[in-house]
């Protein structure tokens, strides 16, 4: 599982290969999922969403730093949807 990467096309057209999340990032993804289901979206929850996406996207094969300013909310949602499916698929694989 260590050499598995998720391909994501950045808004500028650059393709990056994102690895599996570290424990801290996985915990942040769970928090983001919970926050996105709340009825009242706060500035704090938006900040967590952008910061988490930036941190995870920055864990890419080319070591390119991705700033939250490079993304919009729709792109972040799309990324989390695809990346979440990727994680589930990788974790369900037999060793």
Look up tokens 């990788």; give the residue: 90
pLDDT tens across the length of the chain (95 residues)? 456 899 999 988 889 999 988 888 888 888 888 777 767 778 888 888 899 999 999 999 999 999 988 888 888 888 998 999 999 898 888 76
Nearest to 90 by CA among 9, 14, 32, 5: 5
| Whole-number pLDDT of residue 41 | 77
Q: What is the pTM of this model?
A: 0.84
Q: What's 3-47 look like in SS3?
A: CCEEEEECCCCCEEEEECCCHHHHHHHHHHHHHHCCCCCCHHHHH
**DSSP H or E stretch at residue 84:** helix 73-92
pLDDT at residue number 95: 64
Query: Do residues 18 and 79 make contact, with C-beta atoms less than 8 angstroms apart?
Result: no
* pLDDT at 55 (0 to 100): 92
pLDDT for 3 equals: 66
């Amino acid at each position: 599982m260590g050499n598995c990467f998720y391909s994501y096309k950045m808004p500028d057209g650059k393709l990056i290969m994102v690895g599996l999340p570290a424990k801290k990032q996985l915990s942040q993804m769970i928090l983001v999922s919970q926050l996105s289901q709340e009825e009242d979206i706060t500035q704090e929850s938006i900040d967590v969403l952008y910061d988490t996406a930036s941190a995870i996207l920055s864990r890419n094969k080319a070591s390119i730093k991705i700033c939250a300013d490079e993304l919009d909310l729709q792109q972040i949602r799309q990324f989390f949807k695809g990346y979440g499916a990727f994680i589930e698929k990788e974790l369900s694989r037999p060793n």
